Amino acid sequence: MEPILIVDDDPGFRRLLETILSGEGFALESAGTVADALRAGARKQFHLVLTDLKLPDGDGLSVLRWFREHAPETPVIMITAFGTVTSAVEAMKLGAVDYIGKPLASPDELRMVVRRTLEQWRIVQERDLLREQEAARFQCTSLIARDPKTQRILELAAKVAPTDSTVLLSGESGTGKEVLARCIHQNSARAQRAFVAVNCAALAPTLVESELFGHEKGAFTGAAAQHAGRFERAHAGTLFLDEIGELDGSLQVKLLRVLQERTFERVGGTRQITVDVRVIAATNRDLKRLVAESRFRDDLYYRLNTFPIDIPPLRERPGDIPILAEMFLKRSATKLGKALPALAPEALDLLKSYSWPGNVRELENMMERLAILCGDRVEAADLPLAGAGTAQPVRWTDIERHAIEEALAANGGNRTLAARQLGISVRTLQYRLKSYGI
């Protein structure tokens, strides 16, 4: 039985509403004042509230505001006297789902409005439950998320994964964009179908169109047979377009058409091919800037940017570094058939303070090298953080500390300006200050 709260100070009209609705199998409760209504709302959850606009200790808008704040999932229907259209409009603006006139035009009007509202409420509840279940089931074991920033990324991915919305992943090279794209695919309804990846920057410009859309036999020199493109191979699955910012203008137009119409022709062909593909795009470039410079189509950008997820660089999510380092080190040691080396605390501190220009990919490569070179323990001096094959992390950190001190001095101690001069975020600067005891 669905609980409904009726709020009206007129006992006769209250009884009328109760009589009409009692035959519908609802659990009815009544209140004659704003105070009684709020006490009832604090005591239990209602699936629907019917409240008169005029009440002895306030008005129905107060009841509406309270439920909007404390039980926003509960729909509220206003009861208004005929002729008070302005009040009804105000109630709708504040979040009332509907209103009925007083006196009632007919019992059927009340039944119809209540049934329609409760049906909408059920749909919303089922949708929210489904989203919660999807979020709970979201699995992405290949993406470590110990840092709050990475955990937020997984929360966003869990929300968008069950949908067919186009996703745009942005972030520096090596931050894990393809890893996240695969996680979104694996947690979607398309998980049992193909995940097809294409790096737009790795293909020669003359081959990109053929790779994306395919070609017919004889379409160009060397086209000895018909070739199905990536869109066709991803039918009913997911197509991952990495480095989307590298596409030239003519291909941007064709890609936009496919995203809008889901149809295309192979190179050298005239037959329309229709596909059902979920697109996830990724870029390490600033597409907004490219749009402003007329180097990337704005209509394509907005089409791709339906659900953007920005993946921060590794240096801005230091909470992930220790567990990533341990995982990569263990993976490499296992592959080499060696015992797992232990990471000395000083080595971990240096890993967390390093700027990681190559992001996760650089960390993975470094751990593989250390697994090869080190015995049972990785010391701070073993870390090749200074680049050029040398192992001098202390020298590198001394240089970084000096640069930070100079930037602070040049900007009168202003951290925001110093961070801007250094080309890092304020949060990263604050982390460095704490690391170096500045």
Mean pLDDT computed over 19-36: 90
How does pLDDT run across 352-391, given as a tens digit for each residue? 888 888 899 889 989 998 998 888 899 988 887 744 333 3
* Section 161-178 average pLDDT: 93
User: In the predicted model, what is the mean pLDDT of residues 402-431?
Assistant: 75
Q: Give mean pLDDT, residues 319-334.
A: 91
The overall average pLDDT reported for the chain is 85
Residues 393 and 280 in one domain: no
Q: What pLDDT sits at residue 401?
A: 72
Crossing angle of helices 249-261 and 205-213, in 10° steps, is 10
* Residue 202: per-residue pLDDT: 78
Residue 233, Cα to own-chain centre: how many angstroms? 26
- In the three-class reduction of DSSP (H, G, I as helix; E, B as strand; rest coil), residue 172 is classed as coil
Does one domain contain both 165 and 306? yes
Cα–Cα distance measured from residue 68 to residue 87, given in angstroms and rounded to the nearest whole number: 17
Convert 178-196 into a string of H (helix), E (strand) and C (coil). Answer: HHHHHHHHHCCCCCCCCEE
Is residue 84's pLDDT more than 70?
no
Strand 76-81, strand 48-52: pairing: parallel
pLDDT of 389 reads 35
Range of the domain at 420: 315-436
* Residues 115 and 224 occupy one common structural domain: no
Q: Please say which residue of 260, 279, 312 terminates a domain.
A: 312
Rounded to an integer, the average pLDDT of 67-89 is 79
Q: Using CA atoms, how far apart are residues 358 and 306, in angstroms rounded to an integer?
A: 28
For 135, the token pair is: 């979020």
Task: Please check whether residues 326 and 282 belong to one and the same domain.
Answer: no
Could you tell me if 293 and 170 lie in one domain?
A: yes
CA distances from 347 to 129, 283, 318, 367 (A): 45, 32, 14, 12
User: Bridge-partner residues for 6, per DSSP?
Assistant: 30, 50
- Residue 402 scores a pLDDT above 80: no
Average pLDDT over residues 65-84: 83
Residues 170 and 217 in one domain: yes
185 falls within a domain: yes
Q: What is the pLDDT of residue 134?
A: 54
pLDDT digits (tens, 9 = 90+) for 249-262: 888 999 999 999 99
CA distances, 219 to each of 205, 212, 213, 214, 227 (Å): 16, 15, 12, 10, 10
0.85 exceeded by pTM: no
- Cα–Cα distance measured from residue 438 to residue 433, given in angstroms and rounded to the nearest whole number: 5
Q: Phi and psi dihedrals of 269, rounded to 5?
A: -115, 165
The string of pLDDT tens digits covering residues 261-303 is 999 988 888 889 999 999 999 999 999 999 999 999 999 999 9
Do 389 and 302 have their domain in common?
Answer: no
Q: What is the band of 393 on the pLDDT scale with cuts at 50, 70, 90?
A: very low
| Number of compact structural domains in the chain | 3
Over pLDDT 70: what percentage of the chain? 90
* CB of 356 closer than 8 Å to CB of 382: no
426: Cβ contacts below 8 Å, ≥ 6 apart: 415, 416, 419
Q: Is residue 139 part of a domain?
A: no
For residue 400, what pLDDT is reported?
64
392 burial via Cβ count (<10 Å: 0-12, 13-18, 19+)? middle
37 and 64, same domain (yes or no): yes
Q: Is residue 386 part of a domain?
A: yes
Residue 234, pLDDT above cutoff 90:
yes
Are residue 28 and residue 162 in the same domain, yes or no?
A: no
With respect to residue 42, please indicate whether it lies within any of the assigned structural domains: yes
- At 236 the pLDDT is 94
> Considering the domain boundaries, does residue 142 fall inside one?
no
Domain end, chosen from 312, 343, 368, is at 312
Read off the CATH number of the domain in which 279 is found: 3.40.50.300
Residue 169 has pLDDT above 80, yes or no: yes
- 169 and 125 in a common domain: no
State which amino acid sits at residue 202: A
| Mean pLDDT along residues 130-143 | 66
